[in-house]
Structure 1
Amino acid sequence: PVVVDGELPVVAADGELPVVVDGELAMGVDGELPVVVDGELPVAVDGKLLMVVDGELPVVFDGEFPVVDGVLPVVADVELPVVVDGELPVGVNGELPVVVDDEL
């Protein structure tokens, strides 16, 4: 098994070892190990992994803006529009509106 800082990683489902990135253990979702892109781990929302584009989290995931406990993930320098129910919401002063539970 892989040893990180003298600690044995927790064995994931199906006896597979979790991925280790920069000395940190990658958490799996539903027993699946997350994909590692450029050393970055994707964020899981509602048990689904967000895609990572050039190390940045995309704003659109299955046409919905991901919400974690009512808090939107901060995505810097990403020019993808926010899509809610197939509609492009209008921002205020160039800022994207806050989306909670698919409501503007």
Structure 2
Amino acid sequence: MTESGSWQSLRDQRMAEPGAADEYAATKLAYELGKAVRERREQRGWSQSELAKAAGMTQSAVARFEAGGTVPTLNVLERIARALDTELSVRFVPKPGRPPRPSPA
């Protein structure tokens, strides 16, 4: 079996475990949030320490967040958004290709 075939097989086994898909989705969200913050911070020319100071956090907390290692609370996201002079937007967006469920009676 090739190395990529072994990896795919292991991934498929792990994703079949209960709760794995939810954990994967949470990890993906944490990564995407961290990436967005890192990009905005770099656009401003700030170091992690500068963002941390502006947001009332530690540099290590910013580093963990940017790496996708933590899922932040809304309060932390709001502090980071203010520090980066951005607006935080949290939305619920229907998944494509799925009809809306009827309202409970």
TM-score (norm 1): 0.23
Please state which structure has a larger fraction of its residues in strand: 1
> Relative CO higher for 1 or 2, CA cutoff 8 Å, sep ≥ 6?
2
TM-score (norm 2): 0.23
Structure of larger gyration radius = 2
